[in-house]
Amino acid sequence: MSVTTVDPKQYIVKNEPYYEQVGKEIALYEAAYNVRMPMMLKGPTGCGKSRFVEYMAYKLNKPLITVACNEDMTASDLVGRFLLDKDGTKWQDGPLTTAARIGAICYLDEVVEARQDTTVVIHPLTDHRRSLPLDKKGELIEAHPDFQLVISYNPGYQSLMKDLKQSTKQRFGGLNFDYPGAEKEAEIVCKESDVDLTTAGKLVQIAHRARNLKGHGLDEGISTRLLVYAGQLIAKGIDPVEACSMTMVTPLTDDPDMRDTLDAAVQTFFG
C-alpha cells in the first residue's frame, strides 16, 4: 500500500487576483488566519466570496485547495479512498485530507450543497482537536499548523433542508458579503471587463433594478460576475443590448413576463 505525496507549491496562487476591499474584511480575515480560526463566508451568488479567498491565499502566500460542493458529494470525496492499480492497493487522499497534511487553506464552496452527513467530517478539524480521522485507513491526521478551513454559502437561496446545522455553524467565525455599492461595483466592472466607467455604471444600474425583484419573481438578482461578463462582451464589440440579454437576462429567468421586465430595464439604459 502506498500514499501519493503532494507538493504544496502546486496549490500556491501565483498571480495576484484582483479584489476590491469593501469593508474591513481583509484585516478581519488576516486576524482570523493568525489564530487559525475556521471561517464562514456568507453572501449572494457572484458577489466575490471565492475571489476573496483566492486573494487572501495569495496575500498570505499559502496553498489553496478549493472544492465545489454538490449534492452527490460523499465523505470519501472529501477525505479519500483506497484505489486499485497495477501495483496493488493505493490510498488516495481527498482534498480535505491533502489540505490538512500540507497546511493549505481548504475552501469548501457552497458547502450546504453537500449532504449533511458529509459535512460532519469537518467537525474534528474545526475545534481544539484540529485532527482528521481516516477510519478506512486507521490513521489520525494532526492538521498542519498552517491549515485553515473556509466554507461559503448563500443564506438567501437555501431551503431549510439545506441549511447548515447549528452544531456546524458555531464552529466558525463569519464574514458577511454583499454586492458592493454602486460606485465601487462600477469600478470593479470597469477594471474586470475593460469597458469605460460610464458603461459599467449603466450595467450596475440595471443590476440594481433586477436585485429589487428578488423574491418578487426572481430567485436571485444579477450578480457582479454577470455584469463583468456583459462588460467583456461589450468590450469585444457586441451590441450592449444583446450582451445584456445574453448575460443578464437569459441566465436569470425563463418566465416571459420577468424577461420582458429585465429587457425593459436594459432598453432604458442601452436602447
pLDDT at 151: 96
pLDDT at 61: 97
pLDDT at 157: 59
Q: Are residues 236 and 263 in the same domain?
A: yes
Q: What is the pTM of this model?
A: 0.90
Give the residue from 234, 221, 218, 237 showing the smallest Cα distance to 269.
234
Q: Are residues 101 and 218 in the same domain?
A: no
pLDDT at 2: 47
- Which CA distances in Å does 123 have to 9, 132, 149, 163, 212? 27, 9, 10, 16, 37
Residue 155 belongs to domain spanning: 8-176
Give the residue from 176, 205, 239 where a domain finishes.
Answer: 176
Q: Is residue 3 part of a domain?
A: no
pLDDT at 115: 81
Q: Are residues 209 and 109 in the same domain?
A: no
Give the residue from 153, 176, 199 where a domain finishes.
Answer: 176
**Cα–Cα dist 145/82, whole Å:** 26
Provide the Cα torsion 70, 76, 78, 84; round to 10°: -110
Residues 178 and 44: beta-carbon distance below 8 Å: yes
Give the residue from 127, 150, 176 where a domain finishes.
Answer: 176
pLDDT at 160: 46
- Which CA distances in Å does 269 have to 202, 230, 249? 6, 14, 14
Q: Is residue 2 part of a domain?
A: no
Residues 125 and 166: beta-carbon distance below 8 Å: no
Which positions of the chain have pLDDT values less than 70? 1-4, 156-162
Domain count, the chain: 2
Q: Are residues 142 and 257 in the same domain?
A: no
Q: Are residues 119 and 238 in the same domain?
A: no
pLDDT at 1: 46
Q: Is residue 29 part of a domain?
A: yes
